[in-house]
Amino acid sequence: MLLDAPCSGERHLAQRAAAGRRLTRGDWSASRSKRNAGAQLALLLSGLKLLRPGGRLVYSTCSIAPEENDGVVSRALAKAPRLGARPAAPALRWPELLRREGRDGAAAAAAAGCEATEHGMIALPDRAGCGPIYWAVLEVPAAHGTPGPHGGGGGGGGGGG
């Protein structure tokens, strides 16, 4: 499952300023970022509840704000321990394509201008030439016994993501 959460999108602010367009107070604020994080948390918790055991969810934003990225993931993991959700294996933090090229995850990430965060990865415009984009892969272990609304209980069936 992919959750591309609505976010602050700070790059849009930089692009607007570079184009000579005036920025206003309403374009970005700490309180707006905090509101976004609250909405993102609700979306992430809803998505995690839909996963079947063995399912994965990719949470992504185009924000550089830690409270909208790892902060949301940390809060979701703390609020939903009964779901058994956890960060996926570190190998899932980086695309398979780069591993096939013989690079380990950290070397591939550095070469692409990305860096690891507490729960995921982030690509920053000054290093990657794109973004920002943050992503974290979360999963409900296949052995987890609490079935989601889409069935499955404690066993296989990737489902939901």
Active site residues: 62
Q: 140 with 48: CB under 8 angstroms? A: yes
φ/ψ (deg, to 5) at 132: -75, 150
Q: 124 with 134: CB under 8 angstroms? A: no
27 is in an annotated binding site: no
Q: Which residues are annotated as a binding site for S-adenosyl-L-methionine?
A: 4
Q: Which residues are annotated as a binding site?
A: 4
